[in-house]
C-alpha cells in the first residue's frame, strides 16, 4: 500500500474567508537553497514606490467599473481597455491562440466587462482578477472548445452593495499577494507563470523544460507555501 | 440545490488541481470534478478564489503579456457594445437535489435521471459526456460492497455524492475526494449503511487486476 500525505483541514487556522489558500495548515518545508534573498530584497525596494501607485490604480479600476455600470461611461471604459485589452490578448496568445483570434477574443472579453459591470463585486475580486476569470472562460470556450462546468453560486446576490471593509480588505490582500509574487525566487515564479500563461499541464511543462515532473510539482508547492507565509 | 448544511469535508482537492482549474488548463472531466466539489466545499472555494487572484495579479503586472491591439480595435469593441445585448438564455430553475448543479447539468436532471448500467458485482455506472482527454462517470456501489480491485495509469479522483466508502487511504464521506495516482492500487468498499454514489474522473482507463474485469473493461469503458 502506498502512503500518501493528506492535507488536514483545520478551520481554526483560517484567518480569512477569501484567502484560505494562504492560511492552510503548513508543514514546514525546507527552504530552497538557491534563494537569493539579496536579489529579492533589492527587487522589493525598487518596487516600493510602485506599490502605492498600484493600490491607487486598483481603486481607480473599481470606480471605473462602477462608472460603466452607473453611467455607461466610455472614458472610463477606454482607460480599462488601454490597460487590460492588450494583456488579455497576450494571455490568449500565450495560451496558443493566433493573433487574430486573440485580438477578437480580447475585444469580446472587454465587451463582457461592459455588459456584466453590474455583477462585479469588489469584495470578492480585484478588477484584474475578474477580467482574468472572464478571459480564462473565453479561452476554454474558444480555444479548447469544451463545456465549462462552474461551481454553484453561493446565495450572496449581486444586488446587495458589498461591505466597504470587505472591499478594502480584499484590495489590501491583493496588494500583499502581488508583493509576495514579486519576491518569489525566480525559478518558482517562472513555473507559476507557466502554469497560468502557457497552455500546458504540469507534465507538459516537464517535457518542455526538461525538468523532472517531481521538481516542477515541488517548486510550485514551495511557491505556494511561500505565498502563504508572506500572507500570514 | 440550497447550500448544504455545513458538511464536514476532510479530503480536499490539491493546490495543483485548483490552480489548473483557475488557469483553464484541465481537461473537461477534471473541471467538472472541481466545479462539483467546490459547490459543496467552502475551503476549496476560497482556495480557488486565491488561485484566481494569482492569475489576476499576473495578468495585471506581467510584462510579457503586454501586446499591441490593432489600431481600430477600440472602435470595433464599442461598435459591438452598441449593437446591443445578445439574448441570453434564461437560467433554468433547478429543483432541489442532492446533486450540486454542475453535475445536474451533465446528467440532465437529478439522481432519478441517471441511466445506470450494471458493470458487474452489483456495481453500476453512468458515463458522462466530456471531452476525450479525460473521462467522467458516476458509480453506484451497493452498501457494503467493494469495487473491483484496481490500479491506475493516470490520475483518478473520486468524490462521494451519497453514502460513504473506505479504502486504504481512509474513510470518505459526502463531498470528500479521494485522489489516486498512477502507482496506487486500492479497493474502495462502500459503507454498510447506504448505497454509495460517487463521481469519478480519470485521465486514463483503469486497469483491473483480475482477468475477467479486464475483458469487461473494453466493453464498458470503465
Q: Does B106 touch chain A (CB under 8 A)?
A: yes
- Per-residue model confidence as pLDDT tens digits over A203-223: 666 666 666 767 766 666 677
Question: What is the predicted pLDDT for the residue at A175?
Answer: 86
Full-prediction pTM beyond 0.90? no
- The pLDDT assigned to A34 comes to 36
d(CA A119, nearest CA chain B) in Å: 15
User: Best interface-test mutation with A: which of B2, B44, B58 has the largest number of A CBs within 10 A?
Assistant: B58
Strand order in the sheet with B189-190: B170-172, B165-167, B189-190
Of A19, A149, A199, the CB nearest to B50: A19
CB B8 within 8 A of CB B82: no
DSSP string, B82-110: HT-PPPPPPPPPPPP-SS-HHHHHHHTSS
Average pLDDT over residues B5-31: 89
Comparing C-alpha atoms, which of B89, B85, B87, B125 is closest to residue B105? B89
B48 contacts on A by Cβ (under 8 Å): 151
CA A178 – CA A51 distance, rounded (Å): 9
**B121 at interface of A, judged by CB pairs closer than 8 A:** no
Residues 55-74 of B with CB under 8 A from A: 55-62, 64-70, 73-74
Q: Is pLDDT of A45 > 60? A: no
Contacts of A181 in chain B (CB under 8 A): 54, 57-58, 61
H/E element, B201:
strand B196-202
* A residues 146-165 closer than 8 Å to B (CB): 146-152, 154-155
Query: Nearest to residue A24, comparing CAs of B48, B80, B5?
Result: B48
* 3-class state of residue B118 by DSSP: strand
Interface of A with B in 30-89 (CB under 8 A): 54, 74, 78, 81, 84-89
DSSP string across chain A: ----------GGG---STTGGGGS--PPPPPPTT--HHHHHHHHHHHHHHHHHHHHHHHHHHHHHHHHHHH--HHHHHHHHHHHHHHHHHHHHHTT--HHHHHHHHHHHHHHHHHTGGG--TTT--HHHHHHHHHHHHHIIIII------PPPPS--TTSPPPHHHHHHHHHHHHHHHHHHHTS-HHHHHHHHHHHHSS--HHHHHHHH---HHHHHHHHHHHHHHHHHHH-
Res. B191 pLDDT band, cuts 50 70 90? very high
**Cβ-nearest to B55 among A132, A149, A178:** A132
Residue in A22, A106, A151 nearest the CB of B38: A151
C-alpha cell at A66: 462602477
Instruction: Say which residues have a Cβ less than 8 Å from residue B67's Cβ, sequence separation at least 6.
Output: A86, A87, A89, A90, A93, A102
Task: Look at residue B204 in the predicted model and tell me its pLDDT.
Answer: 73
Say what percent of chain B tops pLDDT 70: 79
The residue ranking higher by pLDDT, A7 or A40, is A40
More confident residue, B186 or B165: B165
Distance CA B113, CA B108 (A): 7
Average pLDDT, chain B: 83
Residue B88: predicted pLDDT: 63
> Would you call B169 and A4 a contact, using CB atoms and an 8 Å cutoff?
yes
Q: Which of B76, B185, B150, B50 is nearest to A16 (CA)?
A: B50
Rounded to a whole number of angstroms, the distance from the CA of B123 to the nearest CA of chain A is 24
Q: Which residue has the higher pLDDT, A224 or B179?
A: B179
The verdict on A176 touching B (C-beta cutoff 8 Å) is no
Instruction: Determine whether the interchain pair B81/A6 forms a contact, defined as Cβ–Cβ distance below 8 Å.
Output: no
Range B141-145 average pLDDT = 93
Amino acid at each position: 500500500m502506498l502512503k500518501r500525505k493528506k492535507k488536514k483541514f483545520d478551520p481554526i487556522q483560517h484567518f480569512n474567508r477569501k484567502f484560505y489558500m494562504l492560511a492552510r495548515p503548513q508543514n514546514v518545508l525546507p527552504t530552497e537553497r538557491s534563494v537569493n534573498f539579496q536579489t529579492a530584497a533589492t527587487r522589493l525596494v525598487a518596487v516600493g514606490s510602485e506599490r502605492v501607485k498600484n493600490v491607487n490604480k486598483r481603486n481607480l479600476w473599481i470606480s471605473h467599473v462602477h462608472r460603466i455600470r452607473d453611467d455607461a461611461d466610455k472614458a472610463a471604459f477606454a482607460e480599462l481597455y488601454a490597460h487590460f485589452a492588450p494583456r488579455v490578448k497576450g494571455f490568449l496568445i500565450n495560451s496558443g491562440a493566433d493573433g487574430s483570434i486573440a485580438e477578437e477574443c480580447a475585444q469580446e472579453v472587454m465587451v463582457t466587462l461592459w455588459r456584466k459591470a453590474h455583477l462585479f463585486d469588489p469584495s470578492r475580486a480585484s478588477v484584474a482578477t475578474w477580467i482574468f476569470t472572464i478571459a480564462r472562460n473565453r479561452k476554454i470556450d474558444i480555444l479548447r472548445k469544451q463545456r465549462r462546468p462552474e461551481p454553484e453560486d453561493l446565495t450572496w446576490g449581486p444586488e446587495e452593495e458589498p461591505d466597504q471593509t470587505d472591499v478594502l480588505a480584499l484590495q489590501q490582500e491583493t496588494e500583499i499577494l502581488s508583493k509576495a509574487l514579486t519576491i518569489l525566487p525566480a525559478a518558482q515564479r517562472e513555473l507559476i507563470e507557466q502554469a497560468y500563461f502557457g497552455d500546458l499541464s504540469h507534465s507538459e511543462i516537464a517535457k518542455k523544460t526538461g525538468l523532472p515532473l517531481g521538481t516542477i510539482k515541488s517548486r510550485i508547492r514551495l511557491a505556494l507555501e511561500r505565498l502563504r507565509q508572506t500572507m500570514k | 440545490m440550497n447550500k448544504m448544511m455545513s458538511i464536514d469535508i476532510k479530503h480536499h482537492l490539491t493546490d495543483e488541481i485548483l490552480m489548473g482549474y483557475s488557469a483553464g488548463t484541465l481537461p473537461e472531466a477534471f473541471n467538472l470534478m472541481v466545479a462539483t466539489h467546490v459547490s459543496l466545499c467552502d475551503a476549496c472555494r476560497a482556495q480557488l478564489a486565491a488561485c484566481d487572484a494569482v492569475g489576476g495579479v499576473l495578468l495585471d503586472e506581467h510584462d510579457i503579456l503586454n501586446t499591441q491591439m490593432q489600431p481600430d480595435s477600440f472602435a470595433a469593441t464599442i461598435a459591438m457594445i452598441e449593437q446591443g445585448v445578445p439574448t441570453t438564455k434564461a437560467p433554468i430553475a433547478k429543483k432541489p437535489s442532492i446533486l450540486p448543479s454542475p453535475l445536474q447539468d451533465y446528467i440532465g436532471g437529478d439522481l432519478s435521471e441517471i441511466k445506470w448500467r450494471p458493470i458487474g458485482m452489483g456495481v453500476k455506472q453512468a458515463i458522462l459526456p466530456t471531452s476525450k482527454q479525460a473521462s467522467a462517470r458516476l458509480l453506484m456501489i451497493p452498501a457494503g460492497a467493494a469495487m473491483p480491485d484496481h490500479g491506475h495509469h493516470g490520475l483518478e479522483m473520486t468524490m462521494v455524492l451519497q453514502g460513504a466508502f473506505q479504502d486504504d487511504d481512509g474513510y470518505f464521506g459526502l463531498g470528500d475526494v479521494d485522489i489516486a495516482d498512477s502507482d496506487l492500487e486500492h479497493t474502495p468498499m462502500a459503507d454498510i449503511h447506504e448505497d454509495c454514489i460517487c463521481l469519478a474522473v480519470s485521465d486514463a482507463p483503469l486497469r483491473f487486476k483480475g482477468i475477467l474485469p479486464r475483458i469487461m473493461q473494453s466493453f464498458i469503458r470503465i
